[in-house]
Structure 1
Amino acid sequence: MKSIFYWMMLIPFLVFSQNQSDNNEEYLIVGSTIFSAKSDKIKEFSEGMKNHNEQFHAEGAMGVRIFTIMNGQNAYDYMAVIGPMPWSAFDEASPTQEAHDEDWTNNVIPYLESEEEVTFWRFHNKLSHFPSNFEMSKLRVSVWDIARGKYEDMISKLEMVTGVLKEKSPETPFAIYTNEFSSTNSGQDLSVVYFFDDFAWLGKDQKLKEKFEEVHGAGSFNSFTQDWMNITNGASQELWVYNQNLSGIGPQVTTSTED
């Protein structure tokens, strides 16, 4: 297993709120990586991952949720998301390292076909919106490649569109993340995540243009989309479904955001 994710999984269990203040608290990150199970060892992989997460990743900052990816080149692989946590969590020693190492090595690694690289994502509290006490179910994840030198422009445009969503669609949870170690090769700079319950949501017209122009004026949406095309180099989208059987923590999201 890649050493950095291995190390990340060993940080002690701490509890952090996603309700941050700009001056007094560290911003929060999450870590993500993709696992593929051997095609003839899916049962063993599932049992090993389930037991491992229940024992070592069932609470706090080191809680892990597993999602099944439903489309694209990673279809039917597993996305593990750990956190949230501040960077300072890496400075803490783990009292469970030996037991964790042994369990992962003996009961999970033998059934892995592959593991993709770890990505650390910074959570942008003020650009995100979590209604009180919603539950994870299904996620639409868009990962954008941002043009070089366009970070501030990106933030400015995100402030516009997330403001519209908070005002006009307050029932819809969404989150904004940026890659802490972005690469011009990977094209994974910005992640926009929508949370929803029913697949029917995907087929509904969210009327974003109408809502956007109610807030910013007639013609503003076309101007926004043109600017966004100049800021970005493209995107990829995936549908994730929360896999409660393999997760260490449940679907309940009790954190809040600064709306």
Structure 2
Amino acid sequence: MIKKIISSLMMVVMVFGTVITVKAQEKAYVMWESITLTPDNTKLKVLETNMRKHNQTYHKEGPYKAYVYHISTGPNIGKIVWEMGPLTYSHLDKRPKEGGHDEDWRDNILPYVKKMSNGEYWKKDKELSNTDMLDQDNNSHPLLYIRYLEVVKGEGHNVKYLFTQISKTVKAMEGENPWSIYYNEFRQGDLGRHIATVSAMKNWAELDKDQDFKETFKKVNGEKSWQAFIENMNDTFSNSWDEIWSFDAKMSGR
């Protein structure tokens, strides 16, 4: 009888422990805060200096560490992306505000910015992403190939399936192929910035290489899977566009 009781208690502990572990994993997410800045190009040098000082002072480490990028392609060329993270919503309650942070942003950043837009939070799909090889300072892969996707209303159920197919393919391709998926946390109305995939690159020359994505896709997902994949993508996404971002270590405060 005692053995049965002990056995039952052990089972309860094991199950309870598993539940706690699963819940902890669900909470351990990766998210970034992102803001797009349109700089006043007549005062760009001052903005670069002030941004560097601001990030060195208030965004040097931890969840509040800043990363600054220049958009190099597309209609947003010339704009700057300021990111902070990786973080969680709980971190936002303790984000830098006092000690001169807000005043410094107001007095030394905003006067040299024409417009702020796209204040967003992007949560990473850790399961499907392939980024274990990346460092924390973007030294090895300073270029980001961003692809934004707009999901057709009522077709969201296809997203996970499609990205699982893509993820398996990317992970099966030769080389490192750092690639990740991010979901926009808040509704965007007609802006359509629902999902972003991110490919990290060492240099522009990587775009000249033939990655054999299609052939690898067919090997991983089945020889006849390609056409169905293309049709499913067209049904699921109404629009997509690309941007190349270039990491600015100096403005980031490095």
Shorter-chain TM-score tier: 0.7 to 0.9
Structure 2 match to 1:24: 24
Match of 2:10 in 1: none
1:80-102 superposed Cα distances (whole Å, 9 cap, x missing partner):
111111112223375x5141012
Distance change >3 Å, CA 60–CA 93, structure 1 → 2 = closer
User: C-alpha deviations, 1:161-211, integer Å up to 9, x for none?
Assistant: 101111224501111001111334111111000001121111222111100
SS at match of 1:140: strand
Which protein is richer in helix relative to its size?
Answer: 2
Q: Does 1:162 align with 2:167?
A: yes
Greater Rg, structure 1 or structure 2?
2
171, 174, 184: which one aligns with 2:176: 171
2:172–2:216: 8 Å Cα contact kept in structure 1? no
Q: Which string of whole-angstrom CA distances, capped at 9 and with x for unpartnered residues, describes residues 200-239 of structure 1?
A: 1112221111000111121211210111110000101000
Q: 1:71 to 1:62 in 2, by over 3 A?
A: same
Deviation at 1:39, TM superposition (A): 2.0
Query: For the Cα contact (< 8 Å) 1:66–1:79, is it kept in 2?
Result: yes
Measure the CA separation in 2 of the matches of 1:241 and 1:227: 32
Matches within 5 A, 1:1-259: 22-25=22-25, 26=27, 27-92=29-94, 94=96, 97-134=98-135, 135-169=140-174, 171-248=176-253
- Tell me how far apart the structure 2 counterparts of residues 177 and 146 of structure 1 sit (CA, whole Å): 13
Q: Which amino acid aligns with 2:84?
A: I
Distance change in 2, residues 1:101/1:142 (3 Å): same
Percent sequence identity is 25
1:80 aligned partner, one-letter code: W
Q: How many residues align?
A: 228
Deviations 1:61-94 (A, max 9, x none): 0111001110111112111111111112223375
Residue aligned with 2:150, SS: strand
Match of 2:14 in 1: none
Q: Counterparts of 1:22 and 1:92 in 2: how far apart (Å)?
A: 26
- Per the TM alignment, residue 54 of structure 1 is displaced from its structure 2 partner at its CA by 0.9
With a CA cutoff of 8 Å and minimum separation of 6, indicate the structure with the bigger relative contact order: 1
How much has 1:22 moved relative to structure 2? 4.9
Distance 1:170 1:159, change over 3 A: farther
Aligned partner of residue 185 in structure 1, secondary structure = helix
Deviation at 1:105, TM superposition (A): 1.6
Q: TM-score scaled to structure 2, two decimals?
A: 0.84
Distance in 1 of aligned mates of 2:22 and 2:88: 13
Q: Write the deviation string for residues 130-170 of structure 1: whole angstroms up to 9, x where unpaired.
A: 13344331010000000112222111110111011112245
In the alignment, the residues of structure 1 paired with residue 238 and residue 189 of structure 2 have an alpha-carbon distance, to the nearest angstrom, of 11
Structure 1 outlier segments of 4+, above 6 Å: none
1:109-136 deviation digits (Å, cap 9, x = unpaired): 1111111130111111001011334433
Conserved 8 A contact 1:28-1:87: no
Q: Relative to 1, partners in 2 of residues 1:84 and 1:156: Cα closer, same or farther, differing over 3 Å?
A: same
Q: Note the residue ranges of structure 2 that are not aligned, 5 or more in a row.
A: 1-20
How far apart, in 2, do the equivalents of 1:243 and 1:78 lie? Answer: 10
**Is contact 1:68–1:241 with CA below 8 Å preserved after alignment?**
yes
- CA contact 1:124–1:175 (8 Å) conserved in 2: yes
Q: What secondary structure is seen at the aligned counterpart in 1 of 2:240?
A: strand
